[in-house]
Amino acid sequence: MTTRPDYATARERAGFGWYVGSSQGALRALAGIPIREFNLEVSACAETYRLGRIRQREVFGDEVGQYPLLTPAISYGHVNCLGSELLFPEGGEVAHTHVYGSLAEGVAALQQPVDWLSQGMAPYFLRFRDELQQRFPDEPVRWSFGGEGPLTTAYELRGDGFFTDIYDDPPLAREFMRLVVDSILDFDRVCAGVNGQPFPNPAGSGMCDDIASFIPPARFPEFVLPYWEQLYSGLTSGTRSAHVEDLRPAQLPFLEEIGLSHFDPSISPRLTPKIFCEGCRVPFTWRLGCFHLRQMPAQEVEDFVFLSAADGANGVSLTLAETICDDASVPKVQAFMRAGKEAKQLLGEGCSREELRQRASEDGRRRLWEGWCGYLGARGAQAGSAAWGMKAAGA
């Protein structure tokens, strides 16, 4: 039985932290390895890790977290084993095809047992892992042939048709969703075994389910919460965390209802830290996107950190990506880390969040979070603010 957090104190108890991490994309950029070669060739993947890690340390220093040694991170492994074709374009991220032409077809297919390790490209990437492990004998290589949360998986399988399925045939859509989660859990059980991890994990588990934000708030109790609960109950008896992009304010109360201990809004242009805090009491980390960082001067990056903390975030995070592994981005990444350390220290010493607000520049206090939707930078703040206002009013 999962113990729900005490939301009266959860955010205060969570404190504040900061994190800057790497990614396979950043390592590829630093090593000069094309994405398609990285995804399909062991030698290219190995060289990305070998050279990319060295260059990351040279460029960004030791405080940026090194990316763990994984096979190419493919989020469509689960649906690939169910028949979806993986697509590896030149210069682009992995894509996939949709599988089921109807709900009835999906329900019938998902009732059949699957030998996960023999289907799709699973055997290829298992061999990939073994060969990569031979090149890095002193560091375990994790198999990163994964899957997504319930609503995202349903979309991957059915395509756009899923968004009308829930209106055209709700009972069959509910059965489809139940079978989708059963399939996710069975796949995750096998993946955990491959990686030597416990399943279920008594400590806690997370979920990525971006497509859940497409479900109107009025349909959340019917088409989201039951399947989140089914998934979490199968994954863990411990803490629950989630990453869902682009939630609307009206969807935030459901994060408490499902019992989350931590939430990552990621890129959610209809939210700000203040809006999030007004909508629910789940501890959360506010992310600075790489496209934000490219448009912001270093001072504004620091303002972002201080104002995120002042407005209630329990942490700030930044992930290196291909687009910010350049000379212009380095001082901004350093500014993020510098402000993160200062905010954490001050809050730990008893500084109030409101006092922390004064650490931001006067211009930053005036503008953030105005224009945050699709952030346009200083020159586009007025237009961005108007756009944000219209979107928020129609959320």
Task: Tell whether the model's pLDDT for residue 1 goes beyond 90.
Answer: no
Sorting pLDDT into bands at 50, 70 and 90, what band is 377? very low
Q: Under a CB-based contact definition with an 8 Å cutoff, are residues 373 and 270 in contact?
A: yes
The answer to which of 32-36, 243-247, 377-381 has the lowest mean pLDDT is 377-381
Angle between helical axes of 150-158 and 225-235 (0-180°, round to 10): 110
Q: Under a CB-based contact definition with an 8 Å cutoff, are residues 85 and 155 in contact?
A: no
Sorting pLDDT into bands at 50, 70 and 90, what band is 3? confident
Q: Where are the beta strands (DSSP E) in 169-210?
A: 204-208
In the chain, the percentage of residues whose pLDDT exceeds 90 is: 91
Task: Tell whether the model's pLDDT for residue 381 goes beyond 70.
Answer: no
What is the amino acid identity at position 394? G
The tokens describing 200, both together, are: 């279920």
The pLDDT value given to residue 373: 61
The pLDDT value given to residue 370: 81
pLDDT digits 0-9 by tens, 139-195: 999 999 999 999 999 999 999 999 999 999 999 999 999 999 999 999 999 999 999
Q: Judging by beta carbons within 10 Å of its beta carbon (0-12, 13-18, 19+), is residue 19 exposed, middle or buried? A: middle
378 vs 274, residue with greater confidence = 274
Average pLDDT over residues 341-355: 95
Average pLDDT over residues 133-137: 98
Rounded Cα gap, residues 107 and 174, in angstroms: 10
Q: Which residues of 82-114 are buried (b: 16+ CB within 10 A; e: fewer)?
A: bebebebeeeeebebebbbeebeebbebbeeeb
Handedness of CA 327, 329, 333, 334 (dihedral sign): positive
Question: What pairing do the DSSP bridges indicate for beta strands 95-96 and 17-21?
Answer: unpaired
Rounded Cα gap, residues 78 and 82, in angstroms: 7
Rounded Cα gap, residues 159 and 155, in angstroms: 5
pLDDT digits 0-9 by tens, 362-376: 999 988 988 776 554
pLDDT digits 0-9 by tens, 216-235: 999 999 999 999 999 999 99
Angle between helical axes of 330-348 and 42-60 (0-180°, round to 10): 70
pLDDT mean across residues, the chain: 93
The pLDDT value given to residue 385: 33
Which residue in the block uniquely carries the two structure tokens 């219209």?
390
Angle between helical axes of 170-194 and 103-110 (0-180°, round to 10): 40
pLDDT digits 0-9 by tens, 326-342: 999 999 999 999 999 99
Average pLDDT over residues 34-44: 98
Q: Which of 240, 235, 246 is nearest to 188 (CA)?
A: 235
Rounded Cα gap, residues 260 and 283, in angstroms: 8
Task: Tell whether the model's pLDDT for residue 382 goes beyond 70.
Answer: no
Task: Tell whether the model's pLDDT for residue 201 goes beyond 80.
Answer: yes
Rounded Cα gap, residues 285 and 260, in angstroms: 13
pLDDT digits 0-9 by tens, 236-250: 999 999 999 999 999
Task: Tell whether the model's pLDDT for residue 380 goes beyond 80.
Answer: no
The pLDDT value given to residue 387: 31
Phi-psi region at 79: left, alpha or beta (left = phi > 0; alpha = psi -120 to 50): alpha
The pLDDT value given to residue 115: 98
pTM over 0.85: yes
